[in-house]
Amino acid sequence: MPDYEAWMKLFSIPRPNGSAAERRTERAITRRLAALGIPYEIHTFRSYPYIWQCIGLWLIVTRTALVMAVWLGWGWAALLIALFSLPGGIADVAFHFPLISWPGNQPARNILLHFSPPRPEQEIILSAHYDTKTEWLDHRQRMFFVKNLPLGILLSVLLGILGAMQATLPDNQPSLNEVIAWSSYLLGIPLLFLAWGLGLHFILGALRKPSQGAVDDGAACAILLGLAEHYHHNPSALQRTRLTVALFSGEEINMQGSRAYVQSRNWPLPTAALNLEVMAQNGAYVIWERDGTVFKLRPNSPAVIEAVSSAVRQVTGETPLLVGPVTSDGGSFSSAGIPAATLGTYDLNLRDRGFHCASDHLGRVVMSRLPEAVRIAIRFVEMLDTREFAFPEPTSR
């Protein structure tokens, strides 16, 4: 029987990306795996752990400079500042290019465990992440600023255009100049509010009491390590399937670890993925129907959703809720055309809130649900391994 209490003790400390605590956690996981005799593999990738702090500072500095340039009548300089400011953040999050997030980049490590029959015909990946994050605002408060990102981009463009108009209008049209001046105030004030609000959220998280990461995503890691112990002791349980258990770093910094892993692989076998997030809470099981970032959401695989829903029903007698969207490592697989879904739980009181802050602590984890979730994962793998469920077809990218 896996020692879930020992695993959860390990996964109940803050483990922010790039920190010594994250590195200690990774070493503790691998030492314990070695003590259990479970082979593992390390996948190293280039991490940009301060992406959100860099974006927060960029938003504040560039948008403040833009607004002041228009208010002070700098003319064409305002348009140049607007054009200069827009790629920063968008390139890093939407296109995964570290345009402004490169400071402090360093190696990071994913932990991979493999279980396989001699001639596998397909592959199933079960994943979770072991890094943590602490933010200034909760999810709902942050969502106000995230939803208004398109408005912020539009305001930046319009202010740049107003700056260009200042440079081209003749001085003998004071009424039009006054309209432009008032328009710059009407556009500049909300842009400053959005830029400083989201920017301070990204920067000031370190000042809050940190999240332990027991729920997000320590419990899921403990479940997958319990699953690994099961297949380590029952190697003949897999008939057709190569099973990969992946513990990713970098999920809280725009899914850098899972994306690097997916990009590093070739995929000779049909593959499906199930990602675990915020598991072992006291409420219902949930499956997110869409996954991705604010710039791109993709539907999760209906076939994977159907299989994991069936596994939950067979183990618990309850049907999981279909909810969404979510931003998780599952999106890294979907974006590569690999059928994927993400399974999680709700808290009866907080539902989908209370993460990335001090309320994510060990007391929220229902220990009896850890072995229950292992049984769900085993049943999910069994159904696809024995072809009780048809193996999911690749999805469109």
What are the angstrom distances between the C-alpha of 286 and each of 319, 351, 371?
Answer: 9, 10, 17
Confidence of residue 395 (pLDDT cuts 50, 70, 90): confident
DSSP letter for 253, please.
G
47 bridge partner residues: 106
Confidence of residue 352 (pLDDT cuts 50, 70, 90): confident
DSSP per-residue letters across 329-366: THHHHHHTT--EEEEEE-BTTTBT---SSTT-SGGG--
Name, in order, each residue with C-beta under 8 angstroms of 204's C-beta and a sequence gap of 6 or more: 136
CA distance 282 to 257: 29
pLDDT in tens, 110-148: 999 999 999 999 999 999 999 999 999 988 788 899 899
Given this model, what pLDDT does residue 325 score? 93
Confidence of residue 321 (pLDDT cuts 50, 70, 90): very high
Residue 300: phi, psi to the nearest 5?
A: -75, 165
Given this model, what pLDDT does residue 19 score? 97
Residue 148: phi, psi to the nearest 5?
A: -95, 10
DSSP letter for 36, please.
H
Largest CA distance in the chain: 87
What are the angstrom distances between the C-alpha of 219 and each of 123, 150, 279, 287?
Answer: 24, 35, 6, 16
Residue 315 structure tokens: 């183990």
Domains of the chain from N-terminus onward: 4-49+107-134+210-385 (3.40.630.10), 55-98+140-206 (no CATH)
Q: What average pLDDT does this structure show over 22-31? A: 97
Q: What average pLDDT does this structure show over 171-198? A: 88
Residue 255 structure tokens: 């899914």
Higher local confidence (pLDDT), 69 or 140: 69
Burial (CB count <10 Å: 0-12, 13-18, 19+), residue 204: middle
CA distance 264 to 161: 42
Confidence of residue 172 (pLDDT cuts 50, 70, 90): low
**Per mean pLDDT, which range of 101-105, 293-297, 336-340 is the poorest?**
293-297
Given this model, what pLDDT does residue 138 score? 83
Between CA 9 and CA 226, with CA 355 as vertex, the angle to 5 degrees is: 35
**Per mean pLDDT, which range of 206-210, 221-225, 265-269, 340-344 is the poorest?**
206-210
Confidence of residue 284 (pLDDT cuts 50, 70, 90): very high
Given this model, what pLDDT does residue 136 score? 94
The chain-wide mean pLDDT, for the chain, equals 95
% of the chain at pLDDT higher than 70: 99
pLDDT in tens, 30-45: 999 999 999 999 999 9
Residue 173 scores a pLDDT above 80 = no
Q: What average pLDDT does this structure show over 309-333? A: 96
Peptide bond into 347 cis (omega under 30): no
DSSP letter for 16, please.
B
| Residue reference for tokens 């930046």 | 156
**Per mean pLDDT, which range of 69-83, 167-181, 273-287, 371-385 is the poorest?**
167-181
Higher local confidence (pLDDT), 244 or 296: 244
The answer to whether 271 touches 240, Cβ cutoff 8 Å, is no
Given this model, what pLDDT does residue 141 score? 85
Residue 397 scores a pLDDT above 80 = no
* Residue in 179, 196, 170 with CA at minimum distance from that of residue 67: 196
Residue 374 structure tokens: 């292992």
